[in-house]
Amino acid sequence: MSVLQEISANVRNMKSMEYPVLARRTNQIQEELRKGVRKPYRDVIDVSWGDPHRAGVKPLSFVRQVLAACLYPKLMEGDRLMVDVRQRARRLLKECAGGSIGSYSNTAGIPEIVQRVSEFITRRDGGVPCRRENIFISSGSQWALANILKVLVNSEASPRTGVLTPVPCHSTTILSLTALGAAAVPYHLTEERGWALEVEELQQALDSAKGVCSPVALYVINPGNPAGYVQNRKSMQEVIRFAAEKRLFLLADEVYQDCVYGKTEFVSYKRALAEMGPPLSETVELASFHTASKGLMGECGLRAGYVELVNLDPAVMKHINSLFSTNSCAPVLGQIALDVMTNPPQPGDPSYPLYMKETQHIRTSLAENVRRVEEVVNSLPGFSCQPVEGGAFAFPTVFLPPKAIKRAKEVGMKPDTFYCLRLLEEAGLLFSPGNDYGQKEGTYHIRFCIMIPLDVMEELLRRLSGFHKRFMKEFS
């Protein structure tokens, strides 16, 4: 398939994503269960979202206590809350205009919170400096990404502006690009090598875009969503050199940076760039995105993230500042969650023991879920799951029998959507089909969230195993 065909396919796919079909049927099934309709399961396990709390993971106590105290300061009277919770809430309220979280903040975020985010980035990156004026707090990382894309994309350009995007890739980025009139130029991750990002694929994508669009940026997701890989330093350095050589702006989606389970440690693109030294460290343009919605905190509903910009021209920074200023500030409650995420309790703080216990429980559960997913899924005939090293999802290949593919086409569905619909109907599991994220032609995948309680994962794997064996037998 040529890049023009694949770009067109991406656009068509985003316009006709089949997940809503699954979502509607889920609602119908849940209503049937409420009315007492008998099914082989008591409930629907929805793991189609990267939403830990929706899946049953409990919120972190320190986070919710600080938020509660800021919402209702009377809670700080007496000793119902730990002293460090009360201290944090009082400090945050002093930083809010009028001492209330109901007030607006600066469009880039509450200045003191922006400063503490910059200090967090400096610590994370081993001392690489972070300037607060390069940080913008936003209503989530995708909102920030969309605004940066507005700067990069010329909607009137001919040929169209292009952005290199990974396959697989979560659909919201593709939707943002196409809404701006840009082209998503797909580069395929190498599944058989653990979803490796290889420069050869980047070059092939760039070459095939000639005459179709003009690529200006390279979008990377690390840790991967939905593929679950974690890039090592060597891979990141190769990508940075490629971006520098081809004069591409680097867009680094790093929202799952605290969810890493494999041997490869997370290294931010900014740190990798800084370690390469001049001239690259002083010239490669980079935007890095993070959020309080993902990772261990999982506060999806509070809508807060940030973007850090590196090596941008002052005139461009001025334009970006104006662009962000045209919108209201990010929700102040979300900004407070972001502050807690980047500045959690420390050893010696009264809340530290419980915070460590809760976060360690989440980490341990995730690691066990990863082990069980790889063990069970890879034991099933017709399944192959690459090692999940980071992120919140598993994205295994399912080798569907020809009869199943034929049946899917007969009912007007893509084969992996057909599989997911049957899985929903017969086992009460809501997964996402791989076609919503992009996949090599002739391959099929399913995506499901692994940030769920251990008992829910065991029930999920039990249902999946039983269904899959019946499905394969039916269509063999």
pLDDT tens figures, 253-296: 999 999 998 788 999 999 999 999 999 999 999 999 999 888 78
Residue 433 binned pLDDT confidence (cut-offs 50, 70, 90): very high
- For 46, 88, 359, the CA distances from 436, given in Å and listed in that order, are 16, 42, 31
- pLDDT(196) > 70: yes
Asked if 428 and 463 count as a contact pair (C-beta separation under 8 A), the reply is: yes
Predicted local distance difference test score (pLDDT) of residue 158: 84
- pLDDT(365) > 50: yes
Both structure tokens of 224: 């991967």
User: Lowest-confidence range among 14-28, 46-60, 109-123, 210-224?
Assistant: 14-28
- pLDDT(16) > 50: no
Mean pLDDT of 175-195: 92
Task: Render the burial of 207-245: b for 16+ CB within 10 Å, e for the rest.
Answer: ebbeebbbbbbbbbbbbbbbbbbbbeeebbbbbbebbbe
Ranges of H-type helices in 284-347: 314-325, 332-342
Asked if 4 and 212 count as a contact pair (C-beta separation under 8 A), the reply is: yes
Residue with the larger pLDDT of the pair 374 and 325: 374
Name the DSSP letter for residue 94. H
pTM: 0.91
Residue 7 binned pLDDT confidence (cut-offs 50, 70, 90): very low
Residue 402 binned pLDDT confidence (cut-offs 50, 70, 90): very high
CA max distance for the chain = 69
Residue with the larger pLDDT of the pair 11 and 101: 101
Residue with the larger pLDDT of the pair 140 and 380: 380
| pLDDT tens-place string over residues 72-86 | 999 999 888 999 999
CA dihedral (156, 160, 166, 169) positive or negative: positive
Residue 17 binned pLDDT confidence (cut-offs 50, 70, 90): low
Residue 430 binned pLDDT confidence (cut-offs 50, 70, 90): very high
- pLDDT(441) > 60: yes
Ranges of H-type helices in 294-331: 314-325
| β-strand pairing of 160-167 with 183-188 | parallel
What is the chain's mean pLDDT, rounded? Answer: 91
Q: Which of 429, 434, 371, 374 is nearest to 399 (CA)?
A: 434
| pLDDT tens-place string over residues 305-331 | 999 999 999 888 888 887 777 777 888
Mean pLDDT of 412-422: 95
- pLDDT(18) > 70: no
The rounded distance, in Å, linking the Cα atoms of 268 and 275 is: 11
- Indicate the domain borders of the chain: 3-57+355-475, 104-342
Residue 19 binned pLDDT confidence (cut-offs 50, 70, 90): low
Q: Looking up tokens 């409420």, which residue turns up?
A: 34
- pLDDT(157) > 60: yes
Q: Please provide the CATH number assigned to the domain covering 104-342.
A: 3.40.640.10
Residue 369 binned pLDDT confidence (cut-offs 50, 70, 90): very high
Q: Please provide the CATH number assigned to the domain covering 3-57+355-475.
A: 3.90.1150.10
Predicted local distance difference test score (pLDDT) of residue 114: 94
Q: Which of 376, 353, 258 is nearest to 62 (CA)?
A: 353
Asked if 189 and 195 count as a contact pair (C-beta separation under 8 A), the reply is: yes
Predicted local distance difference test score (pLDDT) of residue 171: 82
Mean pLDDT of 124-141: 92
- pLDDT(160) > 50: yes
Residue 174 binned pLDDT confidence (cut-offs 50, 70, 90): confident
Predicted local distance difference test score (pLDDT) of residue 322: 79
- pLDDT(13) > 50: no
User: Lowest-confidence range among 53-62, 150-159, 240-249?
Assistant: 150-159
Predicted local distance difference test score (pLDDT) of residue 15: 41
Mean pLDDT of 451-468: 96
Q: Which of 326, 373, 340, 308 is nearest to 121 (CA)?
A: 308
Q: What are phi and psi of 80, to 5 degrees?
A: -70, -25
Mean pLDDT of 34-39: 93
The rounded distance, in Å, linking the Cα atoms of 331 and 110 is: 11
Q: Which run of H or E residues covers position 195?
A: none
Mean pLDDT of 111-138: 94
% residues pLDDT > 70 (the chain):
96
Mean pLDDT of 189-217: 94
Q: Which long-range contacts (CB under 8 A, 24 or more apart) does 278-284 make?
A: 280/240, 280/241, 280/244, 282/311, 283/244, 283/311, 284/240, 284/243, 284/244, 284/250, 284/310, 284/311
